[in-house]
């Protein structure tokens, strides 16, 4: 079979033992640490007898390995179980929240590409000029800002002081594109600033490295216009490492940027991670771990494919 397909299959197959290990580890972990979903549900209002009663009803008094095997059996059939806390199916919960996180991350990515790539390019082309220095300073500062702090400052400035952007009543972009976007602007800026800076640096250094290469000199010698040289040759090759890094970051972010989602009250996957952890909602936690790992591998796969597409040497090599 073609090497690409074999590569993909190998990756997917390698994922399985990791998922196994992760699910066992997280199952064990959540049990080892103090905290009981029944207790959390009762919220300290119950007597010890009520706690025991509730645990029995939730099926929490059965031995660990039995519960794990039962969970495993269901997962293989595609059933991730139900949340202990609010009886929704874990799959439904994930499906419902995923678009929010996805739109947040995509918007952040979009911002970073729209600002970061040109910034990096300009920085490289006008190397050591004031443009370059300003860009690099901004980049450095942006890399240092904690995203949740930036988010707080943005809220203060735009929502509270200037009253420009709304805070309440989050609407999913799926239901209403325009309103949904308004709620995503601030959080994606907070999230995207770091990405923008990262991308700008990457593009700058890659472009610089590429511009020093022989084939660029050849292209110029051939009489090609500077713009063609820049875009068709330099940028394209420079984007390769950028794609890798951005892909990895995106994978991480899609796992749920818990802090930003909590701050901006967005019902995304990240917020679910925190809520599930605090409630010791084991089925949800297990489901989330599966989701995050699978997503991560998928993204890596896509990135590699993109890489192959962009770098002709890999395509035909």
Partner 1 sequence: MIRRGWMRWFAAGFLGLVLLCGAPGLAPAGTVLKIAADGDISDVDLHMTTHYLNRVVLLNVYDMLFALGEDMGPRPSLVDKYTVSPDGLVYTLTLRRGVKFHSGKTLDAKDVVYSLTKMQAKGPRSGQLKGLIKSIEAADPLTVKIALHEVNAGFVATLANPIAPAVIYPDGEAERQGGTITKPVGTGPFEFVEWRKDSVIRLKKFAGYTVDDRPTSGFTGKRLALVDQVDFIPIRDSSVRAAALERGDVDVALSLTQQDVERYKGKPGLTVAAKPGVSFADLRFGFKKGIFMNNPKLRQAVGYAIDKEEIVKAVTFGLGKPAPAGIPIGTPYFGSVHGNDPYGKPNPEKAKQLLTEAGYKGEEIILDSHLQPSVYPEIAVVLQAQFQAVGMNVRVRTLESAALQTTWDGGEFAFFLSGLSPRPDAEIYYCQFWESTSTSTGYKNAEYDRLCGAARKTLKDDDRKKVFTDLETLLRTDMPWVPLIYLAQVEGWRSNVQGWQHWSAGYARAWNVTVGK
Partner 2 sequence: MAPAVSLTTSHGIPPPPRRVERWGRVWRQLRRNRLSLAGSLIVVSLLLLALAAPLLGLASPVKLNIGQRFLSPGPGHWFGTDQLGRDVLSRVLFGARVSLMASLLTMFGAALPGVLLGIVAGVSSARISGIIMRLMDLLMSFPPLLLAVAVAAALGTGTRSIIIALGVVYLPRIVRVTRGVALSVIAQEYVMAAQALGSPRWRLVVRTVLPNCLSVVVVQLSLYFAEVLLAEAALSFLGLGEPPPTPTWGNILYDSQKYIRNAPWIAFFPGCAIALSVLGLNLFGDAVRDAMDPRLRT
Instruction: Give Cα separations from 254 to 223, 279, 301 (angstroms).
Output: 45, 22, 15
CA distances from 231 to 7, 81, 111, 125, 309 (A): 31, 50, 20, 12, 17
* Site for partner 2, residues 114 to 173, rule: CB under 8 A: 136, 140-141, 143-146, 148-150, 152-153, 155-156, 160
Query: 200: Cβ–Cβ under 8 A, 6 or more apart, which residues?
Result: 115, 116, 117, 119, 120, 123, 135, 139
**Burial class for 128, CB neighbours closer than 10 Å (0-12, 13-18, 19+):** exposed
Under the binding rule (CB under 8 A), the answer on residue 296 touching partner 2 is yes
Contact 260, 187 (CB under 8 A): yes
Quick one: what does residue 1 bind among partner 1, partner 2, none, with the CB cut-off 5 to 8 Å set by partner type? none
Q: Which is nearer to partner 1, 40 or 306 (CB)?
A: 40
Least distance to partner 1 from the beta carbon of 105, Å? Answer: 18
57 binds partner 1 (CB under 8 A): yes
Q: Would you count residue 40 as binding partner 1 (CB under 8 A)?
A: yes
* Closest C-alpha among 282, 288, 290, 269 to residue 85: 282
Check binding of 267 to partner 1 (CB under 8 A): yes
Q: Is 49 in the site for partner 1 (CB under 8 A)?
A: yes
Cross-strand pairs, 82: 89
By CB under 8 A, name the one of 277, 298, 306, 310 that touches partner 2: 277
> Of 49, 93, 77, which Cα lies nearest the Cα of 281?
93
CA end-to-end distance (rounded Å), the chain: 16
293 in contact with partner 2 (CB under 8 A)? yes
| 162 lines the binding site for partner 1 (CB under 8 A) | no
Which residues contact partner 2 by CB under 8 A?
17-18, 21-22, 25-26, 29-30, 32-35, 136, 140-141, 143-146, 148-150, 152-153, 155-156, 160, 201-202, 204-205, 208, 212, 241, 255, 258-259, 262-263, 273-274, 277-278, 285, 288-289, 292-293, 296
Which residues would be at the binding site for partner 1 (CB under 8 A)? 33-37, 39-54, 57, 85-88, 96, 159-160, 163, 166-171, 176, 263, 265, 267, 278-280
């Amino acid at each position: 079979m073609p090497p690409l397909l074999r590569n993909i299959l190998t990756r997917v197959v390698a994922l399985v033992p990791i998922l196994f290990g992760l699910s066992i580890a997280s199952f064990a972990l959540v049990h080892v640490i103090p905290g009981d979903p029944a207790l959390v549900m009762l919220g300290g209002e119950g007597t010890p007898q009520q706690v025991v009663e509730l645990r029995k009803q939730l099926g929490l008094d059965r031995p660990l390995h039995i519960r794990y095997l039962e969970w495993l059996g269901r997962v293989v059939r595609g059933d991730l179980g139900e949340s202990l806390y609010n009886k929704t199916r874990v799959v439904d919960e994930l499906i419902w929240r995923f678009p929010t996180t996805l739109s947040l991350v995509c918007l952040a990515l979009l911002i970073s590409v729209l600002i970061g790539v040109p910034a990096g390019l300009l920085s490289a082309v006008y190397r050591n000029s004031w443009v370059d220095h300003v860009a690099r300073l901004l980049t450095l500062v942006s890399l240092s800002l904690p995203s949740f702090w930036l988010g707080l400052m943005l809220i203060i400035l735009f929502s509270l002081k200037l009253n420009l952007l709304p805070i309440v009543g989050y609407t999913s972009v799926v239901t209403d594109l325009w309103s949904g976007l308004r709620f995503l602007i601030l959080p994606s800026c907070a999230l995207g600033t770091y990405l923008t800076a990262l991308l700008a640096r990457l593009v700058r250094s890659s472009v610089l490295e590429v511009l020093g290469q022989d084939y660029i000199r050849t292209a110029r010698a051939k009489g090609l216009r500077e713009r063609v040289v820049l875009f068709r040759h330099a940028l394209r090759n420079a984007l390769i490492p950028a794609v890798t890094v951005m892909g990895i970051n995106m994978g991480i972010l899609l796992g749920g940027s818990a802090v930003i989602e909590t701050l901006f009250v967005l019902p995304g996957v990240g917020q679910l991670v925190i809520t599930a952890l605090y409630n010791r909602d084991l089925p949800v936690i297990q489901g989330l771990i599966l989701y995050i790992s699978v997503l991560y591998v998928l993204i890596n796969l896509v990135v590699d494919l993109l890489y192959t597409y962009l770098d002709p040497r890999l395509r035909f090599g």
